Amino acid sequence: MRDRFWERFSLEELTRQEWEALCDGCGKCCLVKMEDADTGDVATLNVACRLLDIGSCRCSDYENRFEKVPECTQLSLQNLDEFHWLPHSCAYRRLAEGRKLASWHPLRSGDNRRLHERRMSVRHFAVSEADVDEADYEAHIIDIIPLDERR
């Protein structure tokens, strides 16, 4: 990867490897989201995809995730705007909005433990969807983004 690529190049200029390296490993994109059909509001739950290793906040089968979890979506430059629910701390969102990477981001800090220490990951609160009945999802809502607050 190119030295400090996140500061020197636009998202459009990144290689595939650099794009992937932007992921800070917080696991927030792997939390279950529910969109209210009537209002368009998006609720985020503390329930994580069954493939998320909550301890490491990484997908346990990244290469095969689309076959195992058909609703899994891939963030790309072409669909970045569709992911209005990405947290403000997300590197992809930050760079798309013209902001810098957070100081705790592994590319800046050189340490992937820092984001966990700063409690920026789901490690401290997520539960696996394997352990939660879908009928109980409403009790697991941790955030709601109203339609009018999207980007």
Residue 47 has a pLDDT of 98
Q: What is the mean pLDDT of residues 19-36?
A: 94
The candidate with the shortest Cα–Cα distance to 150, out of 76, 108, 88, is 88
DSSP 100: P
Map out the domains of the chain as residue ranges: 5-149
CA atoms in the 13 A half-sphere facing the CB of 106 = 13
Residue 114 has a pLDDT of 94
Residue 149 has a pLDDT of 67
Q: What pLDDT digit, counting tens, does each position of 42-81 carry? A: 999 999 999 999 999 999 999 999 999 998 988 888 888 7
For the ranges 11-25, 54-68, 135-149, which has the lowest average pLDDT?
135-149
Residue 151 pLDDT > 80 = no
Its pTM stands at 0.88
Q: What pLDDT digit, counting tens, does each position of 76-90 carry? A: 888 887 777 788 899
DSSP 44: E
Q: β-strand 127-128 against 42-48: which pairing, if any? A: parallel
Residue 1 has a pLDDT of 92
pLDDT band at 145 (very low <50, low <70, confident <90, very high): confident
Q: What pLDDT digit, counting tens, does each position of 85-112 carry? A: 788 899 999 999 999 999 999 999 999 8
The candidate with the shortest Cα–Cα distance to 104, out of 92, 118, 93, is 118
Q: β-strand 31-35 against 42-48: which pairing, if any? A: antiparallel
